[in-house]
Amino acid sequence: MTCLPEKTTRKLGLVIDLDTCVGCQACVTNCKEWNTGGHMAPLTDTNPYGAGADGVWFNRVHSYEVTTPEGNSQSLHFPRSCLHCEDAACVTVCPTGASYKRISDGIVLVDEDKCIGCKLCSWACPYGAREYDVFEGVMKKCTLCVDRIYNENLDEEDRVPACVLTCPTGARHYGDLGDPQSDVSRLVRKRNGQDLMPEMGYRPTNKYLPQREKIANTATGQTTALAPLEDTSGASGLLGWVDRMLEQMD
Amino acid sequence: MPLRDPKENDGLNTSPPVADEVKTTTCYMCAGRCGIRVFLKGGQIRYIQGNRDHPVNKGVLCGKGAAGIMNHCSPARLRKPLKRVGPRGSGEFEEIEWDEALSTATTWLDDIRTTDPKKLAFFTGRDQSQSLTGWWAKQFGTPNYAAHGGLCSVNMAAGGLYSIGGSFWEFGEPDWDHTRLFLMFGVAEDHDSNPIKIGLGKLKERGAKVISFNPARTGYAAISDEWVGIRPGTDGLLVLALVHELLRAGKVDLDYLLQFTNSSWLVQQAPGSEKDGLFLRDTDGKPLVWDRNSGSAVPQKQPGAKAALSGTYSVFGTPVIPVFQLIADRYTDEAYAPDTVAEQCGVSAETIKRLAAEIADAAFNHPVTLPIAWTDTDGKRHETMVGRPVSMHAMRGISAHSNGFQTCRSLHLLQMLIGAVDTPGSFRYKPPYPKPVPPGPKAAGQTSAPETPLDGMPLGFPTGPDDLLLEDDGTPRRIDKAFTWENPMSAHGAMHRVIANAAAGDPYPIDTLFMFMANMAWNSSMDIQGTIDALTATNTDTGEYCIPHIIYSDAYASETIAYADLILPDTTYLERWDCISLLDRPISNAEGAGDAIRQPIVEPDRDVRPFQTVLLDLGARLRLPGFVNEDGSAKFPGGYPDYIVNHERGPGIGPLAGWRGENGAGQGKGSVNADQLERYIENGCFWHCDMPVEARYFKMGNKAYLDWAVGMGFIRSADAIIMQLYSEPVQKFRNAARGIGKKQPPEHLRKRVEQACDPLPSWYPTFEDSATDPEDFPLHALTQRPMHHYHSWGSQNAWLRQITAQNRLFVHHATAAKYGIADNDWVWVESRNGRVKGQVKLIDGVNPNTVWTWNAIGKRGGSWGLEKDSPEVKKGFLLNHIIPDKLDDGSLSNSDPITGQAAWFDLRVRISKAEPDEQGETEPMFESTADLPGATPNSTRLDYGRVFETKEPVE
């Protein structure tokens, strides 16, 4: 069993806006291309050009239809990756200390040298965020791009997770959720950010912003139809109005 | 500020080296042309990132773009020129050297050019170099040239260019920062990919309302505030019902209409005469308006004149009526009332009425005022810019119908009536648009002769029957029958008709079909079996193929490869030079003009050559004018980059507009600059030039803009561009159909031309809907494109295919229940053209009368480097199999009657549950083609990136 830090200095994580995510998969493939050459390289793929293709992905987007409590059907795109939980069961279940949560920033990582591939962590994680590399026999997972966010070889503005950097709609945000004054914390308050499955008690760091209420009728006074100019059918009402308007413009 | 390494003491190096070098170029994972930064490490591609400075994508990158590495190293890449050795379609080839390939092609082409150049049909698919390929065709002397616009979105482009002098996507964009109401019509999540996503993010942040009109509730519709699940092919009717509501309520911008449109132009009413329905013009050809002051017809904007918008007047005995009066008469009719159209559109009358109220409210109760002073083309100074914050975007969903041209026109009518073209908050043009309406020039090809270039570019914009490309006896001059009575305004040609026509020798046999980057033997054709039959048809007398020679260039082993006789292998997008030119498909934005290049990031590791360089080489071998010097030597021995820098289309106008002139200071126009490509590379491989602030709205009538555009070489004159509510060129075709003039349609097309060629935007049911008994084929069927597979090149991509390797048929729960179909069942989808089998996924987010699937996921065994048991082969299916390429009458193309655009989305089907023993695999299942020479078995393991691993602990 592996211990979690009592507290971490920072709580780095993601805030994902379900109202803005169009399900384009940009974060998915950008994560893949960065990380397949990054800290946990490679993100191996099996049968890449045949049946049963499968691979290691740190981030996946699922598209669903959901029915709202009011009975309305709605489509939803749901990006799923490691939530870097404060009470990370994937860490406490680890028999070798390979899974650990960093004290400095709260990122949950796997030390591949210590991982024996027992997969207990993937059973323990309720979010399905663990990815087993069948060829290497080790567990891999989202690193929150720990090899980007502090990387002095990258331009300063690029020192964010790849999924955040690439998101075309701006649905992904990154920052310190332990700092109530951070942009991400403010965003979570403003948009009523939610924990994923809070009832499980793992206290995930990442937050999801729920879909905004759909904007209904925007017409002033919620007008439901335009009033015709005059109670006439055909063009006369309109053209009479046009003539009057032109006179006014003269 | 980014965080500093917190010194966790876990031995982890948080600053590993990421690249030896970062090179910029332009993405080609779709047609969007985003800027990218490619990280190279040890000579290999480590990472591809969006270029933050780039005006198209501003740093972001989509799911495809970020998977570019896998296209670049795809096993489907062609390796060497190929010569067919088995029968067409077998896929049996042998590798040959480039010398043999090019001399073979030269021999075939030279024979044609010296005898009858039109026997070459040169069609270039998803070509981003049309200004080169079109010019090559012109210099060769064949009229038989087009890219893929005819099968893609010519309705959108032509509908816009003939109406507002611009269109969506490359022609214009919503004012994302100021719009209040954004209406998306028929937008699958393709085309203009990242800019729309960036824009949607902005709208969400600002709380603007997003409304999506689409039979399917896919990605963008999913996040919209309102999804209007309209019945396919009825968008135009719904738009005209909105127009009806707005007109009846007087919610139109008269000032705007008077200033920027032809609302006041007088239309002559003279049935039976050649002037019927044409504008009244003075002797200089200037259109006239009715001056309410003098009671006479005067040129529009004559000082002191007060143009009438209503009434009927008489000029020299001919009744004349202002366009606006015709519009009022037409659209206030009850035929366009929401209550009349609701059932047909599948949208309630209440919804239509309320949408009209919302549009009117946003436009007229919430005008956007920007503190920008400007001067209009009448010389009037305005202290502010006031706009209508209603913006629209539309794409193939509304254009890929046989009523698509008129539907696109209807949308522009709506925009014009509320004053929402190029104003703050509305749709905005991107330079070089707006262009004068009607657009020019006209298509060349009235004559063609051996060893003689055409007298102009093969594609263009007709303005009347005289511009059709017909022999004196009415025979089409072009193999695709573009610019004929079947589709008089087919401005982008009709690539989807070439193969069938060529095989049938209709209107004449050809010798060589030369194609680039178009998967015509699979997902880019209707009726695939019919297309394959045409590609392999033989002459019963001689036993020779009806299309004697087929040359094909592509980078990848698509399904079309097997049907070519000679393959010229292209490079991947990271191995080549390219230019994204203002001369063909620009990447400007509403605030400035831009273009871009691709530069080779890595050298090819195969014996392949960039297509454009090969084309220049062929041009020189054929000694085409412009491709050789006087001594016969190649004019561009350095290949495509040589051409990009040194070719001038007109004085000072070349493929690239940036850094022109000897010192590189010229923008737009200027002499050749030998260092031009270096300057592009220094700037991130793109050029962008912002226009003056006062030029950024009202471009069609803004003096500062028009002067700037003339200076840049985009337009010839700074005269106001008057948008056309009523289209005179369209009326000229109608008049001909009514028996007026020397050139008239043949009898069997007379009625169709007359009905379709309505000078005012109109709606009629799609041809398929009209011909279909709803009892037989009760459902509509169409495709959408998944954002991560936009275009059909993704199944070779090891990462993208893991996201989608099998497409499902999406069926509404209620519809499925009606036919006893359960989730995951396999079903037959049947049209009058045959049937195809696929697996169902039940959903709510679809119009109940419609079924849909993802486009081009299904692949043929033997292609795309995939194993033959892949889901794409065994389970993926194409609707193309059952889309008829002819109308019900068996002779006319399944296309728009005005532009000839392929009517992909007119398809009518019925569905039925497959038998128990039919579950699990798609049908029809085509025999796999042979492996190409040199193909090696795919590995079961891909570990791209292992070489980049840096596990050294921190020192």
Whether B166 and B274 share a structural domain: yes
B424-437: burial string, b at 16+ Cβ within 10 Å, e else:
bbbbbbbbbbbbbb
CA distance A201 to chain B (A): 26
Which three-class secondary structure state does DSSP give residue B833?
coil
Which pLDDT value is given to residue B871?
98
B1-32: burial string, b at 16+ Cβ within 10 Å, e else:
eeeebbebebebbbebebbeeebbbbbbbbbb
Among candidate residues B29, B194, B59, B25, the one with its CA nearest the CA of residue B684: B25
Whether B671 and B566 share a structural domain: no
Is B336 in contact with B344 (CB distance < 8 Å)?
no
Query: How far is B181 from B365, CA to CA, in rounded Å?
Result: 12
pLDDT, average across residues A198-225: 95
User: How many structural domains is chain B composed of?
Assistant: 4
* Whether B197 and A168 lie within 8 Å, measured CB to CB: yes
Query: Which residues make beta-bridge pairs with B578?
Result: B598
Query: With an 8 Å Cβ cutoff, is A37 touching chain B?
Result: yes
Query: How far is A139 from A132, CA to CA, in rounded Å?
Result: 4
Q: Do β-strands B941-942 and A207-209 pair in parallel, antiparallel, or remain unpaired?
A: unpaired
DSSP string, A160-229: S-HHHHH-TT--EEEEETT-TTSHHHHHHHHTT-B-SSGGG----S-EEEPPPPPP---SGGG--SPPPS
Instruction: Tell whether B951 is covered by a domain.
Output: no
* Tokens 């539907």 -> residue: B407
User: Using CB atoms within 10 A of its CB, is residue B281 exposed (0-12), middle (13-18) or buried (19+)?
Assistant: middle
Which pLDDT value is given to residue B585?
85
CA distance B219 to chain A (A): 5
Whether B342 and B466 share a structural domain: no
Whether B346 and B378 share a structural domain: yes
* Whether B248 and A229 lie within 8 Å, measured CB to CB: yes
pLDDT tens string A98-138: 999 999 999 999 999 999 999 999 999 999 999 999 999 99
Q: Residue B830 belongs to what H/E stretch? A: strand B826-831
B54-63: burial string, b at 16+ Cβ within 10 Å, e else:
bbbbbbbbbb
Which residues of chain B are within 8 Å of residue A212 when distances are taken between CB atoms? 204
Supply the ipTM of this predicted assembly.
Answer: 0.96
Nearest to B14 among A73, A146, A226 (CB): A146
Q: How far is CA B716 from CA B193, B259, B379, B421, B662, in A?
A: 32, 21, 19, 22, 24
Which pLDDT value is given to residue B951?
57
Whether B507 and B550 share a structural domain: yes
Whether B289 and B360 share a structural domain: yes
Which residues of chain A are within 8 Å of residue B358 when distances are taken between CB atoms? 217-219
Whether B486 and B388 share a structural domain: no
Residue A163 pLDDT exceeds 50: yes
Whether B742 and B771 share a structural domain: no
Query: How far is B572 from B602, CA to CA, in rounded Å?
Result: 10
Closest Cα in chain B to A76? B222
Average pLDDT across chain A, whole number:
94
Write out residues 45-74 of A within 8 Å (CB-CB) of B.
45-51, 53-55, 57, 63, 65, 67, 73-74
Write out residues 103-162 of A within 8 Å (CB-CB) of B.
103-105, 109, 111, 135, 146-147, 149-154, 156-160
Among candidate residues B592, B595, B590, B578, the one with its CA nearest the CA of residue B653: B595
- Other Cβ atoms less than 10 A from the Cβ of B592: the count is 18
* Whether B350 and A32 lie within 8 Å, measured CB to CB: no
Q: Residue A33 belongs to what H/E stretch? A: helix A26-35
Closest Cα in chain A to B48? A33
Q: Do β-strands B686-690 and B592-598 pair in parallel, antiparallel, or remain unpaired?
A: antiparallel
First-to-final CA distance of chain A: 86
pLDDT tens string B36-95: 999 999 999 999 999 999 999 999 999 999 999 999 999 999 999 999 999 999 999 999
Closest Cα in chain A to B943? A44
Dig out the tokens for B553 from the structure: 């260039």
Residue A71 banded pLDDT, cuts 50, 70, 90: confident
CA distance A86 to chain B (A): 17
Instruction: Tell whether B834 is covered by a domain.
Output: yes
Which residues of chain A are within 8 Å of residue B946 when distances are taken between CB atoms? 41-42
Among candidate residues A49, A78, A173, the one with its CA nearest the CA of residue B800: A49
Residue A6 pLDDT exceeds 90: yes
Q: Which residues contact A181 (CB under 8 A, 6 or more apart)?
A: none
Dig out the tokens for A175 from the structure: 């920052």
Query: With an 8 Å Cβ cutoff, is A97 touching chain B?
Result: no
Is B689 in contact with B670 (CB distance < 8 Å)?
no
Q: Which residues contact A40 (CB under 8 A, 6 or more apart)?
A: A110, A112, A140, A141, A143
Whether B381 and B282 share a structural domain: yes
Query: How far is B918 from B828, CA to CA, in rounded Å?
Result: 10
Domains along the sequence of chain A with CATH: 12-46+54-209 (3.30.70.20)
Closest Cα in chain B to A232? B248
CATH of the domain at B742: 3.40.228.10
Instruction: Tell whether B208 is covered by a domain.
Output: yes
Closest Cα in chain A to B44? A37
Dig out the tokens for B498 from the structure: 């070439």
* Whether A65 and B845 lie within 8 Å, measured CB to CB: yes
A25-55: burial string, b at 16+ Cβ within 10 Å, e else:
bbbbbbbbbbbbbbbbbbbbbbbbbbbebeb
Q: Do β-strands A12-17 and A207-209 pair in parallel, antiparallel, or remain unpaired?
A: parallel
Nearest to B943 among A42, A49, A105 (CB): A42
Is B482 in contact with B488 (CB distance < 8 Å)?
no
Whether B663 and B556 share a structural domain: no
pTM value is 0.97
Instruction: Tell whether B581 is covered by a domain.
Output: no
Is B790 in contact with B64 (CB distance < 8 Å)?
yes
- Percentage with pLDDT > 90 across chain A: 88
Question: Of B556, B571, B586, which residue constitutes the final position of a domain?
Answer: B571
* Whether B946 and A41 lie within 8 Å, measured CB to CB: yes
Which residues of chain B are within 8 Å of residue A48 when distances are taken between CB atoms? 798, 938-939, 941-942
Instruction: Tell whether B59 is covered by a domain.
Output: no
Which pLDDT value is given to residue B668?
93
Query: Which residues make beta-bridge pairs with B598?
Result: B578
Which pLDDT value is given to residue A216?
94
Nearest to B66 among A33, A37, A109 (CB): A33
CATH of the domain at B527: 3.40.50.740
Q: Residue B288 belongs to what H/E stretch? A: strand B288-291
Q: Residue B510 belongs to what H/E stretch? A: none
* Tokens 């000839």 -> residue: B900
Averaged over successive runs of 10 residues, the pLDDT of chain B (955 residues) comes to 89 95 96 96 97 97 97 96 97 98 98 98 92 97 95 94 95 97 86 93 97 93 94 98 97 97 98 97 96 95 92 96 97 97 98 98 98 97 98 93 98 98 98 96 95 97 98 96 98 97 97 96 96 97 96 97 98 97 93 98 98 98 98 97 97 96 94 98 98 98 98 96 98 98 97 98 97 96 90 88 97 98 98 97 97 95 96 97 94 97 97 96 96 92 90 49
Helix spans in B577-649 (H) = 611-621, 640-646
Whether B730 and B836 share a structural domain: no
Question: Of B537, B571, B605, which residue constitutes the final position of a domain?
Answer: B571
Dig out the tokens for B849 from the structure: 């009368």
Among candidate residues B184, B162, B164, B165, the one with its CA nearest the CA of residue B174: B184
Which pLDDT value is given to residue B257?
98
Q: Residue B90 corresponds to which amino acid?
A: S
* Whether A41 and B874 lie within 8 Å, measured CB to CB: no
Q: Give the range of the structural domain holding residue B462, as residue numbers without chain letter.
A: 96-151+445-571
CA distance A172 to chain B (A): 11
Instruction: Tell whether B21 is covered by a domain.
Output: no
Whether B315 and B406 share a structural domain: yes
Instruction: Tell whether B402 is covered by a domain.
Output: yes
Q: Residue B743 corresponds to which amino acid?
A: K
A210-225: burial string, b at 16+ Cβ within 10 Å, e else:
ebbebbebbbeeebeb
Looking at residue B726, what DSSP letter applies?
S
Query: With an 8 Å Cβ cutoff, is A197 touching chain B?
Result: no
Query: Which residues make beta-bridge pairs with A60?
Result: A80
Query: Which residues make beta-bridge pairs with B51?
Result: none
Dig out the tokens for B189 from the structure: 């999540």
Query: How far is B200 from B319, CA to CA, in rounded Å?
Result: 49
* Whether B204 and A212 lie within 8 Å, measured CB to CB: yes
Q: How far is CA B521 from CA A79, B81, B511, B534, B860, in A?
A: 37, 19, 19, 10, 10
Query: With an 8 Å Cβ cutoff, is A91 touching chain B?
Result: no
Nearest to B18 among A10, A151, A238 (CB): A151
Query: How far is B784 from B188, CA to CA, in rounded Å?
Result: 6
CA distance A166 to chain B (A): 4
Nearest to A53 among B220, B805, B943 (CB): B805
Which pLDDT value is given to residue B954?
45
